[in-house]
Chain A
Amino acid sequence: MIQRVLALVKMELLKLIREPANLFMNLLFPAVLTLVFGLAFGALGGGDGSLFDMMAPGLFAYACIFIIMTVSMSFTDDRENGLLKRINVTPTTSTQFIGSHIITNMLIAIIQLTIVFLLSLLMGYRPNVDVFGVIMAFIFMLFLSLCSVGLGLITATIAKSAGAASGLSFIFILPQMFFGTFIILPEGIRIISAFLPSYYVTDAITVIFGGGSPFAVGILIQLGIIALMGLVIVILGIFLFRKYGKV
């Protein structure tokens, strides 16, 4: 089983490196976004940096949200090229196959967080956090990547082609970007945030990087919520894709 999962993870990581679109969406885009926001609102850009300090935790989530697009495109592309069928006639189970995608995207989330974190520091961001806080932030990001894989699978179920998947993925990307990260919402529509995984991640990382305890009850409750959301979404994604995804 391990041999199969490792082979699939290796293949997905090679796809990340060798496919320019994947490389851009997963690694270059978060980096460019951090640099742009850092220059515009950070201390390096001439301001007092307080605005960028507020934005930075949301930027960590931003990067991870775009996993929805790459996962949905990857699945639809593989389906269009008959590769899902081909894997389906090997002894690989769907759990091993989806599991390899989850592991790959968790690894990508770790790389993304590292890139965005280091670039944010370069742009003048100074979080008040210890090593446990950083580890907790990584754990939150891993669960957000799990949600993104699940939402990517749901998108791939609906989309007929990789092109359609890239467009449809914005159904899940945009609400999370605008209602679940650093944009301050009017009171009336703030309730929407409660349904968005990115809200819990941004909120928890803001508190942790602002000097709050990573083991505070509020943080642990948010961790529980995002973990539950991740599991439910990914199970739903697997179910829908297996049933209606036309593998």
Chain B
Amino acid sequence: MNDKEEMLKLIDELKKDLSSKNKEIVGYLEKIEALEQEIMKLQKLMPVEPSKIKVIKEKPEDVFDLDGASAIIIKDLVKQFDDITAVNGINLEIKKGELFGLLGPNGAGKTTTINMLVGLLNPTEGTAVVGGYDIKRELSKIKEMIGVCPQEASVYKFLKGRENVELFGNLFEMDKNLLKERADKFFEASGLKEASNRKAKGYSGGMIRQLNLIIALINDPKIVFLDEPTVGMDPRARRKTWNFIGDLKQEDKTIILTTHYIEEAEALCDRVGIIDYGELIALGTPKELMKKHDATNLEEVFMKITGRRIMEGV
């Protein structure tokens, strides 16, 4: 064998070797690409670190500047449960007659905020004024002017619908005739008139939630807290409840609505505060927020700020 033949043989071997290495490299590249796609998918699912979220806070010095137009003023409100900070320094002002929506995923701190405003929880730090009264010192005055529709459908199942409403009306020491008049009006408007003389035990989930809402409104409260009032309702009942809540605005009531339903907030609220990880991360009318974040709906607004969907929870 001469030198030329030897050289050609060597080149062939090198070519084969290179080809196999190339295949190996291509394999690695494909694996890297697949891994990168997987990482991207996981990143979308991962919550954004709270520290990376731009927190919007109204200026604390503006808060408590009472001009008589505010129904609720919240200042530096904090609630800590052991190591968990459920509400982290919220500052907010809600005007009289406003339908204000607290929007955020499950576990964001909406209910904890409401519970502090209605006296079910003591704030760890900060305070709030509801209807002109301090939540730390004048709770009994606050309780006389508010109506609360809790997230859980809290009714006495062994009582009839009307008996439930009358019980809570009496707890507000309402006049008997006025109580009957308002109960009749609400049962009529909610479509529960016929069922009102039946025990709540036999009500459907939607009917129980309607009754829950009527109880919250029976005392003609100036400020109404509605905590996820349409959870578990079918679309028809939800629409009906939206109309019902919309009608309340005509009565010049201040309504604070917590929800994680985007369409609910968009359809009903004058202004929306978006809460995430216990902090107020956005505040404005739905239109303002969508314009500011170049979004077509509030879900997109939330996604652009946090990188997550509202329904994903915290």
Name A's B-contacting residues (CB within 8 A): 3-4, 6-8, 10-11, 14-15, 18-19, 81-83, 85-93
Contact = CB atoms under 8 A, between A and B. Distances in A.
Contacts of B215: 86
Interface of B: 118-120, 140, 143-144, 146, 148, 150, 152-159, 163, 166-168, 170-173, 199, 215, 219
15 contacts: A3-B173, A4-B171, A6-B170, A7-B167, A7-B171, A11-B163, A14-B159, A18-B158, A19-B158, A83-B155, A85-B150, A86-B150, A89-B148, A90-B168, A91-B143
Given A82-B152, A85-B154, 10 more contacts: A7-B166, A7-B170, A8-B167, A11-B159, A11-B163, A11-B167, A85-B120, A85-B150, A90-B143, A91-B140
A59 B237 CA distance: 53
B145 to A, nearest CB: 10
Contacts of B163: 11, 14
Nearest to A93: B140
Contacts of A93: 140
Contacts of A3: 170, 173
A79 to B, nearest CB: 11
A224 B101 CA distance: 57
B143 A82 contact: no
A137 B148 CA distance: 45
B159 A90 contact: no
A4 B173 contact: yes
A213 to B, nearest CB: 44
Nearest to B147: A89
A75 to B, nearest CB: 14
Contact of A90 (B155, B157, B158, B171): B171
Contacts of A6: 170
B50 to A, nearest CB: 28
Contacts of B159: 11, 14
Nearest to B119: A89
Contacts of A10: 167
Given A91-B144, A91-B172, A11 B150 contact: no
A13 to B, nearest CB: 11
B158 A86 contact: no
Contact of A89 (B120, B157, B173): B120
A86 B154 contact: yes
The 8 closest A-B pairs by CB, nearest first: A7-B170, A82-B154, A82-B152, A90-B171, A86-B154, A18-B158, A89-B148, A91-B143
A91 B147 CA distance: 11
A7 B166 CA distance: 8
B119 A90 contact: no
A92 B158 contact: no
B303 to A, nearest CB: 32
Contacts of B166: 7
A107 to B, nearest CB: 18
A72 B171 CA distance: 23
Nearest to A84: B154
Residue among B150, B155, B171, B215 facing the most chain A CB atoms (10 A cut-off): B171
A15 B154 contact: no
B144 A89 contact: no
B150 A87 contact: no
Given A14-B159, A18-B158, A90-B143, A82 B150 contact: yes
A7 B173 CA distance: 10
A99 to B, nearest CB: 13
A18 B156 CA distance: 11
A81 to B, nearest CB: 6
B172 to A, nearest CB: 6
Contacts of B148: 86, 89
A51 B172 CA distance: 53
Interface centre among B118, B154, B159, B163 (most CB of A within 10 A): B154
B170 A89 contact: no
A81 B170 contact: no
Contacts of B143: 89-91
Q: Which of A3, A8, A19, A91 has the most CB of B within 10 A?
A: A91
A23 to B, nearest CB: 11
Nearest to B152: A82
Contacts of B219: 90
A81 B167 CA distance: 16
Contacts of A90: 143, 168, 171-172, 219
A81 B171 CA distance: 18
A10 B164 CA distance: 11
Nearest to B201: A18
Given A4-B173, A90-B172, A91-B140, A83 B167 contact: no
B289 to A, nearest CB: 30
Contacts of B119: 88-89
